[in-house]
Chains A and B, each alone.
Chain A
Amino acid sequence: MKEKEVLKPKYAQASIFIIISVIIVGVIALFLVISSDVIPGIGGSKSQANPSAFLDSCLEGKVKEAVKIIGEQGGYIEPVFYKEFKFEKEAFPIKISYLCYTSENYISCINQEPMLFDNIENEIKNYLRQDVENCFTELSSDLEKQGYVVEAKYRNFDVNLISKKIEIDINAELILTKAGETIRKKDFKVVVLSKIYELTEFAQKIINKEVLDCEFDYITYMLLYPKFEIDRTLTQDSSIIYTIDHRDVSERFRFAIRGCVIP
């Protein structure tokens, strides 16, 4: 009994210490969160420190938007030859491009887009055409606001799908002058992480199998390539819609084929 009485104040003291510690940690955490928004980083804005970083942040959303649309629609922003289909779990029907098709029965499909990688690069490029120029203009304006005299020359850009990323090579030039000091920067590269290359390669693998073997054993391939989840949907007109989801990044590539149809 006596022992308990002696211990009581120690429990209370420990509790107070714990509460104070939690408050201190909370205050520090709150300060860090608030200060990260309020206090400007050393070295000025992102555009001054690194124009590529500015362009990265300006374009990343658009690139991902393009990849999402293209991935849902079989490699096209606006499909021309497609199967319109509504999946049960999805709200609206979507246009899914035929990447391999024959209207005939019994024969293999004709690959409609043998240069699938090039086509996707072109589609992304067309989708971003205005945005890249706008971002470059925004970058110039941002630098002007920082007191630079900006001479900006924008020419064009290229899109390259590379394993695990998309590279946007912008052919442009900035000549920045401030307080008599002149800096020249040219040829900017924006890199957006994406698995569209891997998804495209896998889609091409499926098409190749469909052309050569008239089938694709998607269950086996999901075991072999656990990073990919494959869905195969057979539609009423014997078209097949493949949906490949990459488990690491929630990116998708979906396309339609029609071939080797046995009525």
Chain B
Amino acid sequence: MKLKIIFLLSLIIFLSGNLVSAVCCQKTINNQTCQNDVEENCDNKYSTSPNLCEETDFCTTGYCFNPATGLCSTGGIEADCESPNKWGESEGQCEEGCCVGGSQTHFTTAASCDILSRTWGIEAYINWNIPESECVGYSDDEGACIIGNECVFISEVECSARDGSFYKGLFCSSEKLEADYGYDYEEKSHKSCVEGKEDVYWFDSNENKEGVAEDCELYEETCDINSRGEYFCKSLNCFDEVNNKERINGETWCVFDAYVGNGLDIPGSEHYLASCNYGEIEITRCGNYRNKICGEKIVDGVSRAKCRTNYWENCFEKDVINNKAECEKLDDCRWFVVDMEKKAPYNNFKLGGCVPKYPRGFNVNSEDSSETGNGKNVCNLASATATLVYEKTGPLNLGAWKCKEGSDESWNCLCEEEIFVIDMNTLCMSLGDCGVHVNLAGEASGNIYLAGKYTRPSFDVNDPLNKPIVEGYFNLSKNKVGENIANYTSNKYNSVSEIGNFAFPPLPPQETMIFGKEKTTKFGCLPWQPVSGGEDCDLCNENPMRPCTKYKCESLGAGCKLLTNSYEDENPICYDASGDDAKPPQIMSFEIQGEYRVISEENGVKIKKQDGGCIQEYTTVNFSFTTHEPAVCKWDKTRFQLFKNGQELFEKGYSWETTHSLLNYKIKGQDEFNFYVICQDPYDNPNAKEYAINFCIDPVPDISPPVITKSLPLNASYLKKDTSNLSLDIYLDEPSKCRYEKVSGISYENMVNEMICNDNNEDAFEHRCSKFIDELTENKNNIYIKCINLANLTMNKDYSLTFFATQEALKIDSVSPLDQTIKGPINIELEVITSGGAYDGKSNCSYRFLGKIWKDVFPDKDSTTHKYTFTSLDEGSYDIEITCKDAAENIATALTNIIVEVDKTAPTVIRAYYQDNKLKIITNEIAECYYNDNNRCNPFNFSSDRKITNIGLKTEHFAEWLKGQTYYIKCIDVWDNSNKNCAAIIRMD
């Protein structure tokens, strides 16, 4: 006969060999617990023993503690007590006592008393000596309580808890009590306050409360002591000195570091909520980096304010950014457009749209360019290129080039003037901490450029908008800008799904090119940067009502650091870290792209061709160098000693960087060209001597025709499906004019299709010709280009480009996981496979979570397989939209829903029995199980205890059957959930 024995968790079974008719069922088929019954009535999913239930372990009764209520039940078995580790055979934490909280009592456990304490809102304590009958019988009436020879005036219940004799309604100074108990307290000896009461009370000479001496008005007055030591009813109102007005108790209003609204919030400034709290003004910061702002309204003459989320990002939502009507529906957004035509006619440059009223602050020291980092992506919205038209002046057009004026067309001449910089900077500032702005010390700094040159518009430091204060707080009403306080409540457009771009200005009409030439000038809006040094760091520490933050500290100077670098401290200190570093930045390495020989010299380098010769004039160079610490570097063609305005900046302008690059710079001059470089660190330490980068220039003049260096789109590109046109840009090595045809071999003179070349100017940063080409209706479309340079040298051969039509739409073939439920925590790999399109499915993909702001691009570029791993998706349901785009701009989208369920439970042993001379255990999920025979499950050592012999994670586990041995078994699942105690204890008889 095959002996089969069933076990369950926490089970010890003594095999006797013969079953008797009455057994102990852990559960009967009628769902009874621990009943002695015939075996047929036992539920075989649970334990059964031939012994009486009183003799089994699994039917041992005890105390079961419920952590949710703090209450206990008795007489139950451990398996039914669902709270792990909350069952015990002894009373332990289930002992009950009298829980007393103020005037309330309840006879219960200590844990329940803690919960009641929170419910009652008063500190409660438990007295184990008061029986239930007394605990629930006492009132909260106050009276004299005699404890030993002393009298205290307390409640009846408290007196009982302290084993005193209670005299309801009597004061301790009662003559009768004094006579009976032999003490002598002076009646109404003095006045004082009572905690939690507003009135002024009499006290006897033993500090016992007596009657009310002065009846203070509830919520308007409170008991207080004046400078003469007299107790009185003090008004709970506050005096707001900044606004010179009285605030009633409970009134709340907004407080600011500086001007708010209209997109002019100052870097480093925050919004605060002030409240009059029982006579004291309390100020709380709304958030960090102005992610929360203060909204205020007046109700019956009383201010009501609160901190709320700043919905600044909604302004950039793609459906809002260029939609004035939608924008103006949003409380935290405003419509702002730089419109140069309003400044002067013939300027059609226009840029802007929906921008935040209360720009968010950015972390200048973050590497992350998103809106929660340094904000570079957001600032870039205000970077734009303006197109100007130049014409020759003088008789027969032989004079100098000058921006064209006074015609019916728009020539955008203002876009080179300071007024353009100022207006564009205003747009730039309104996006966040971008562009050039003053900080809380009133020091202007920041980062914008025009036509590759970094610049700073002048700021009127006496303008209240630019004059922040740190003493007291900013009084908006004094500056007549009270309306800029945020609304008390705010609507939200939606969770931001995709940030749009401002609409770009139209190009001037092409026919104007017959008479003039185009010039572009680019305005660059970069994240705001603080001034160098740390002279103003202390300003951050001056107002303890508004403690310094990392954001505010670092905005006061590049040398300012927060001592703790933490928001956790109550009053973190901002200090000037310049003293930590007195060394100027050292240039460490120099690199140049291309075949050049770099000869190191003392404090500089010489650059020559590989063969030792000099470079040709107009050669474009790209080089970079590093500094040993973050620095801002400037350069000039001539030597300069001081680090001051006027020199050129490198690629990242006023950003504190360790790598400094100069790209696409055209070397010009006779014999040689020098870049003299001086760098300065954030602590105002500049190089004493400039670093010289020297290029020697070949004196032989240019005899080569122009060379097209690249085209966009590239040669052999595909057109987007179902389109027959493209916007073509070609780039040249020198100023030139270009024409194109769709047939080859035509001379430049006979070509009729003129391209629009952005400049014929030798100083131009790049030489580009553009054309919108249509009627590309063939599967294979050829374009032939020839160009002529300023020396009238023409290209001998056509520069040919071929563009193919896309035959098939881009498709997303599969998304994995697709609409799946996944058990976690686990890394989830989202895989997308694409096909079709212009390049056989090769594309770039991105995802975004609907209803959230999470989005990113897949790292696989120009691929048909795209994988992205999510490492920390929490429990929940996620709708993910995937968008793939190939190089021909063909787009495909797909949606998937992923539900993440997190397994937090340990595996349980659901069956255990003898099989083929082995102990077989079955777990409810795949797991690894271990055992020891050392009579312990806590602590349990998975590395040293023996593994039950199976390989990998399984639900069935086998161990050697050793008669007489007891195995203490514990299991661990794939998520590292393991049993707190034993999963099973099995004795093999």
- The reply to whether the CB of A91 lies closer than 8 angstroms to some CB of chain B is no
Decide if the interface of chain A is mainly helix, strand, loop or mixed.
mixed
CB of A163 within 8 Å of the partner chain: yes
Judging by beta carbons under 8 Å apart, are B64 and A115 in contact?
Answer: yes
Give the CA-CA distance A182 to B877 in the complex, in Å.
21
- Interface 1/0 per residue, A167-203 and B, CB below 8 Å: 0000000010000111110000000000000000100
Query: A110-B59, A115-B64 known; A182 and B493 CB under 8 Å?
Result: yes
Whether the pair B35, A114 counts as a contact (CB closer than 8 A) is: no
Whether a CB of chain B sits under 8 angstroms from the CB of A225 is yes
Given A81-B30, A224-B132: A114 touches B76 (CB 8 Å cut-off): yes
Interface footprint category on A? 35 or more
Contact check, A110 vs B71: say whether CB atoms are below 8 A apart.
no
Interface: A48 (CB within 8 A): no
Contact residues of A between 88 and 137, Cβ < 8 Å to B: 98, 100-104, 107-118
B80 nearest in chain A by CB position: A114
Looking at chain B's contact residues, is the secondary structure mostly helix, strand, loop, or mixed? mixed
Is A49 interfacial (CB 8 A cutoff)? no
Whether A115 lies near B326 (C-beta < 8 A) is no
**Is A212 an interface position by the 8 A CB rule?**
yes
**How far is B492's CA from A207's CA once the two chains are assembled, in angstroms?**
54
Contact A208 B326 (CB under 8 A): no
Q: Which of B35, B36, B74 has the most CB of A within 10 A?
A: B74
Identify which of residues 458-505 in chain B touch chain A, using a CB-to-CB cut-off of 8 Å. 491-495
Q: CB of B44 within 8 A of chain A?
A: no
Asked whether A100 lies within 8 Å of B66 as measured between CB atoms, the reply is no
Docked pose: A204 CA to B119 CA in angstroms: 21
Mask, B1-40, CB within 8 Å of A = 1, is 0000000000000000000000000000011111111000
B69's closest neighbor in chain A, by CB?
A117
Tell me whether A81 and B31 are in contact in the complex, defined as CB-CB below 8 angstroms, given that A110-B59, A153-B877, A208-B73 are known contacts.
Answer: yes
B747 touches A (CB below 8 Å): no
Whether A115 touches B66, Cβ cut-off 8 Å, given contacts A81-B32, A104-B36, A208-B74, is: yes
Decide if A110 touches B31 in the complex (CB within 8 Å): no
**Binary A-proximity of B922-940 (CB < 8 A = 1, otherwise 0):** 0000000000000000000
Is the CB of A155 closer than 8 A to any CB of chain B? yes
B54 at the interface (CB under 8 A from A): yes
Bits for B68-88, please: 1 = Cβ < 8 Å to A, else 0: 110111111100111100000
**B61, CB-defined interface residue at 8 Å:** yes
Determine if B136 is an interface residue (Cβ-Cβ < 8 Å).
Answer: yes
A110 touches B66 (CB 8 A): no
CB distance from B142 to the nearest CB of A (A): 23
Q: Are B33 and A110 in contact (CB under 8 A)?
A: yes
Q: Are A182 and B494 closer than 8 Å at their CB atoms?
A: yes
> B31 and A114: CB pair below 8 A?
no
Given contacts A81-B31, A155-B877, A182-B494, contact A115 B80 (CB under 8 A): yes
Q: Do B73 and A111 have beta carbons less than 8 Å apart?
A: yes
In the complex the two chains form, is B35's CB within 8 Å of A110's CB? yes
- Nearest neighbor of A224 in chain B, beta-carbon distance: B136
Kindly list chain B residues whose C-beta atoms are within 8 Å of the C-beta of A102: 35
Chain B minimum-CB-distance residue to A112:
B33
B593 proximal to A (CB < 8 A): no
Q: Does A80 lie at the interface of the complex (its beta carbon under 8 Å from any beta carbon of B)?
A: yes
Question: Is B329 touching A181 in the complex (CB atoms < 8 A)?
Answer: yes
Whole-angstrom CA separation of A208 from B74 in the bound complex:
5
Of the candidates B61, B116, B119, the one having the most CB atoms from chain A within 10 angstroms of its own CB is B61
Q: Is A211 an interface residue (CB 8 A)?
A: yes
Max chain B Cβ within 10 angstroms of own Cβ: one of A108, A114, A212: A114
CB distance from B328 to the nearest CB of A (A): 11
Bound-state CA distance A211–B61 (Å) is 10
CB of B645 within 8 A of chain A? no
**Known A-B contacts A182-B492, A184-B492; A108 and B75 likewise in contact (beta carbons under 8 Å):** yes
Cα of A201 to Cα of B116 in the assembled complex, Å: 13
CB distance from B483 to the nearest CB of A (A): 22
The answer, among A80, A100, A104, A225, for a CB contact under 8 Å with B75, is A100
| Chain A min CB distance to B23 (Å) | 13
Q: What are the residues of chain B within 8 A of A208 when measuring CB–CB?
A: 72-75
Query: How far is it, in angstroms, between the C-alpha of A47 and the C-alpha of B895 when the chains are bound?
Result: 31
Hey, which chain B residues are within 8 Å of A111, CB to CB? 33, 61, 64, 73-77, 80
Complex CA distance for A204 and B109, rounded to whole angstroms: 13
Please list 19 pairs of residues, one from A and one from B, whose beta carbons are closer than 8 Å in the complex, sorted by A's number: A100-B75, A101-B33, A103-B35, A104-B36, A110-B35, A110-B75, A111-B75, A114-B75, A115-B64, A115-B73, A116-B73, A153-B877, A182-B492, A183-B491, A183-B492, A184-B492, A184-B851, A211-B74, A224-B132
Given contacts A81-B32, A161-B69, A184-B495, 7 further A-B contacts (CB under 8 A): A98-B32, A111-B33, A115-B80, A160-B68, A184-B492, A204-B71, A212-B75
